[in-house]
Structure 1
Amino acid sequence: MMSEDTRDGAASRTRVAIVGSAGKMGQALIRLVKEDAELELVAVLDQGDPMSALGAYPGAVAIDFSTPAGTLALAETAPGAGVAIVSGTTGLDDAAVRALEAASRIVPVFTASNMSVGVHVLGVLIERAIAMLGPDFDLELIEAHHRRKVDAPSGTALTLAAIAQSARGGDPRLVHGRHPDVRAARGRDEVGIHAVRGGDVIGDHTLLLLGDGERLELTHRATNRDLFARGALRAARWVAGRGAGRYGMRDLVGE
């Protein structure tokens, strides 16, 4: 764990701690915080660093792009430290999800499977398109990421699929790929979801709305990881000083 010295005039800045500092997102966040006069980097933590170090920075915001275990440790520590949470870690297990919920009763907790405002707008467009097109269009979601991504489907894909399920009404089934041993026509109550892994793809998400004689494709493509880091920093500024509770992109963007 490394701490950063407080700089002149830092009292008016949003104090930020980075959890998962050794990863690509952590490195992007550190670089962008240091370039932003409105932010103060107070601590960086990675695997093996004691989360208790956050106790020295009450009122700060911990930005988390780590692992489910890292998120769990942060969620268990932040309430006692008086530190807000902005978490973009995906693939969380039940223990981490429960810990974040418990933490939100004491400190503000902002979570999003994708910190891109554009992805949030994609979700809004999905809701509206499904409502306008009605039940006669089949829904298939395809996501692509780099070869090193561990969780599949991506957290963003699962979030978009949940939006599609809700917009369709009832409880349409999520179908993860289609194995050749399952010889059956596509059900009308399905939302298909498919994960592609390879190369250095940062993140592509497409919802296909497939009708008879026509189809629509709603797509978001990320071309630079900085967009996720900038979204997380925007969330950190927004959540700093707010009351306890659960927050997300809809609160940040206002839609």
Structure 2
Amino acid sequence: MSVKVAVSGALGRMGRRILNIAHADPEVEIVGALESPKNAREKDLGKALGDNRFNGIPLSSNAEEIISKADVLIEFANSPEAAIEHANIAADLGKAVVIGTTGFSKEQLKELEELALKTPLLFSPNMSLGVNLLFRLVQIATKVLKDKDFDIEIMEIHHRFKKDAPSGTAMRLAEIIAQELGKPLEEIAVYGRKGHYERAKDDLGIMTLRGGDVVGEHTVYFFGFGERLELTHRATSRDIFAKGAVTAAKWIADKRPGRLYNMFDVLGL
């Protein structure tokens, strides 16, 4: 039996890739697409995309109407507020949710954790296999090197159109590092540098570059004396994120609520 999915943010860059990957998957059926009112004037997804593969699939800004048709909502709206609203509606309807939207505040992430007690919910700022392996490798490296006088810094690069900075992936890397160091992230994070001062011992620099059409690049630097370790992931196609989102949707379809899932659960990392 196929998993019925609805895609939020369907006409965006990621939404379109998810639709393509989901359409090609025999275990998935696309039953609806959710967009903002200004982007959902055309009510047929195939016509809105100019792609007859999606003819007959409803496109709407009415979240309850679209989500009610699905087993799983794949959420990639540009707005964290919209994603939270849709997740609440899905929870009320008893539908599972996979969220790839980034830029959430601490309070919003807490709300997602609470919603995960009501309905199966997975959140990951990056759903690619490679990035999630990077998360684990950074965790291991930090654990090994934290008492060896190494300085840790993060650099992330994305295309000029990305709205949130630092990226959700960079912030997740920072959270993992801070947790291994046993330090609150808000006490050690340094977002860029300017001025005349030395680096504090416990600083965790988080640097952002924006330009061109870069899909995504993240590097964590471990600076020692006489040596340097760099762990880097470079994305060259958005399909890696779309494949991860569809895989997550299939995985979560039969799971129970109880905690906020992530891609480590899906990938067994």
Q: Which residue, out of 196, 221, 236, partners 1:208?
A: 221
Confirm or deny: 8 A CA contact 1:15 1:61 kept in the other structure.
yes
Asked if 1:41 corresponds to 2:53, the answer is no
Q: Which residue, out of 159, 168, 185, partners 1:155?
A: 168
Name the structure 2 match of 1:61: 72
Report the Cα distance in structure 2 between the residues aligned to 1:214 and 1:105, rounded to whole angstroms. Answer: 45
Q: Which residue, out of 7, 12, 35, partners 1:23?
A: 12
Partner of 2:214, secondary structure, is coil
Aligned length: 241
Asked if 1:174 corresponds to 2:186, the answer is no
Q: Deviations over 1:180-207 (max 9, x none)?
A: 2xx2110111111000000000000000
Confirm or deny: 8 A CA contact 1:55 1:80 kept in the other structure.
no
**TM-score (normalised: structure 2):** 0.86
Confirm or deny: 8 A CA contact 2:32 2:67 kept in the other structure.
no
Report the Cα distance in structure 2 between the residues aligned to 1:232 and 1:149, rounded to whole angstroms. Answer: 19
RMSD: 1.4
Runs of 4+ in 1 over 6 A off after TM superposition: none
Identity of aligned residues (%): 41
Q: Counterpart amino acid of 1:93?
A: S
Name the structure 2 match of 1:14: 3
Confirm or deny: 8 A CA contact 1:78 1:103 kept in the other structure.
no
Report the Cα distance in structure 2 between the residues aligned to 1:99 and 1:128, rounded to whole angstroms. Answer: 29
Report the Cα distance in structure 2 between the residues aligned to 1:33 and 1:250, rounded to whole angstroms. Answer: 21
Unaligned runs of 5+ in 1: 1-11
Name the structure 2 match of 1:240: 253
Confirm or deny: 8 A CA contact 1:88 1:114 kept in the other structure.
yes
Q: Would the alpha carbon gap of residues 141 and 85 (structure 1) be closer, same or farther in structure 2, given more than 3 Å must change?
A: same
Name the structure 1 match of 2:126: 114
Q: Counterpart amino acid of 1:63?
A: I
Q: CA deviation at 1:94?
A: 5.0
Q: Would the alpha carbon gap of residues 95 and 138 (structure 1) be closer, same or farther in structure 2, given more than 3 Å must change?
A: closer
Aligned positions of 1:181-196 closer than 5 A: 183-196=196-209
Name the structure 1 match of 2:55: none
